[in-house]
Amino acid sequence: MHYHSDSPKELNIASAAEIVQQIRNRVCRNTSRVFAVLMVLQWVGAVLTAFIISPKTWTGTTSEIHVHVWAAIFLGGIITALPVGLALAYPEKLLTRHIVAAGQMLMSALLIHITGGRVETHFHVFGSLAILAFYRDWRVLLTASVIVYIDHLVRGYYWPQSVYGVLTASPWRAVEHAWWVGFEVAFLIVAIRQSNREMEQIGERQSQLQSVNIKIEAEVLERTAELKASNKQMETFCYSMSHDLRAPLRGIRAFSQILAEDHGENLNEQARDCVKRIGDAATRMDILVLDLLQYSRVSTLKFSPEPVSLSRITNEVIRLLSMEIQDQKATVTTDSDLGIVLGHEATLIQVMLNLVGNALKHGKLGVTPVLHIRSESRANHIRIFVQDNGIGIAPEYQQKIFEIFERIPTPGRNTGTGVGLAIVAKSMERLSGTFGVESTPGTGSTFWFELPAVTSVIASEDLEAKPALTIHG
């Protein structure tokens, strides 16, 4: 497995820094939008406050609009315009944050001035500092604090009534106000530093998680490629086996037959039995190779599900097994309309061949096989049953028999290769269907599989329901 030439630790640090920067940019964008709205509302509030508190000024009997109103309208607009514009156009820039901080503190100064230095209005400064802390940048708080101190110092010296509500004020009063501002800023800076540390830890964890995900994805891709290569090799092996391995098996079987037919009279009883065993073993091996080849094809076959008539495939299976049915004098009955499912026709024919073939193969000794094939509709699905009167299956084997090479131990008879029902299981897995068996030893078995039903009307003669069918051997 190959990765980038940089070490994982360096990749994690760089990625963590990028994640933290993305979080900070998002925080800045959101906070800038908050201030863009807040400062416009403050401007409107300042104008309304000026109209309510001091709408006019009087000179004798003559009145005119108070200067506070004009200050709220024009000075407030000037203070608001630049921060709002930058907050909307460049919300993530450092300059925007400082301009917003300066504008917010100047708006506090304007509100304090309009209200005549009321103590209650001074709390607007502390509230503004708390909202500015949303930027998670302690430098912004320093900018705001410096502007507050300069405003209080200058206006307290030249115009104390506009900031303190008194005609005269000591210069130390600005220091007192600055001390309280600094007190709040100190705690806000502590909170910001703690928040930034948590943000860096989140970035580091996300970076590590991304690194792990990348490694997992790379391993998944590698394992998928290996699996595809393995499947390709298996497919190639199975096709090679079907030709290269079956050829010598056919040779063994042919030579054993020649030996038995041409030289059988020269062999003693034990030798003839050995020759027969050789032929039977070659035949059995050939059947096993064919079953494994079919299992491989089911596992790797690519197909698209399509509507398939269960009645049609059942009739085709009975036709293919007609010789076995006649040889065993079996009776096979089917319902008139088994339904239409979403599947793959060739695969379902193989499934039915295996189920019906097993039912014929595992009948009771001396008892004529009787099979009944029926179906039931179950919540947009169709379940088809193959019921027999055979030897039945003990409960401990009812799940195992669907695994490859698993066979029911039956003394005195050929129990098959153990691949047929595995093909049924693999086919249902590929078709997203379900399967199972219901059986009681000595009374027979009912094998079933279930697939999605096709409920829409399909205008095709091939998919039309067939009449009920009864076949007697």
- Burial of residue 117 (number of CB atoms within 10 Å: 0-12, 13-18, 19+): buried
395 to 399, 414, 434: CA distances (angstroms): 8, 21, 19
More confident residue, 211 or 55: 211
More confident residue, 409 or 389: 389
Q: How do residues 172-206 score in pLDDT, each as one tens digit? A: 888 888 899 999 999 999 999 999 899 888 888 88
Please, which pLDDT band fits residue 459 given cuts at 50, 70 and 90?
very low
Residue 302, amino acid:
K
pLDDT number for residue 33: 94
Please, which pLDDT band fits residue 463 given cuts at 50, 70 and 90?
very low
Please, which pLDDT band fits residue 243 given cuts at 50, 70 and 90?
low
pLDDT number for residue 149: 92
Average pLDDT over residues 103-132: 90
Q: Which residues pair with 65 in a beta bridge?
A: 56
- Look up residue 243 and give its DSSP letter: I
Average pLDDT over residues 366-382: 89
Domains, the chain, ranges and CATH?
8-215 (no CATH), 302-472 (3.30.565.10)
Asked whether 364 and 390 are in contact (CB, 8 A), the reply is: yes
Mean pLDDT of the chain: 82
Name the least confident of 8-17, 166-175, 334-343, 459-468: 459-468
More confident residue, 250 or 268: 268
Average pLDDT over residues 367-383: 90
Q: How do residues 416-455 score in pLDDT, each as one tens digit? A: 666 778 888 888 888 889 999 998 888 889 999 999 998 7
Question: pTM score, two decimals?
Answer: 0.50
Please, which pLDDT band fits residue 140 given cuts at 50, 70 and 90?
very high
Long-range contact set of residues 228-235: C-beta below 8 Å, sequence gap at least 24: 231/299, 231/300, 234/296, 234/299, 234/300, 235/296, 235/300
**CA 148 to chain CA mean position, Å:** 53
Residue 234, amino acid:
M
| Side-chain half-sphere exposure of 187, counting CA atoms within 13 A | 8
79 to 99, 103, 133, 236, 468: CA distances (angstroms): 10, 6, 20, 79, 91
More confident residue, 332 or 2: 332
Helix boundaries (H) for 322-452: 322-327, 345-361, 420-430
pLDDT number for residue 300: 67
The residue among 314, 317, 359 whose CA lies nearest residue 334 is 314
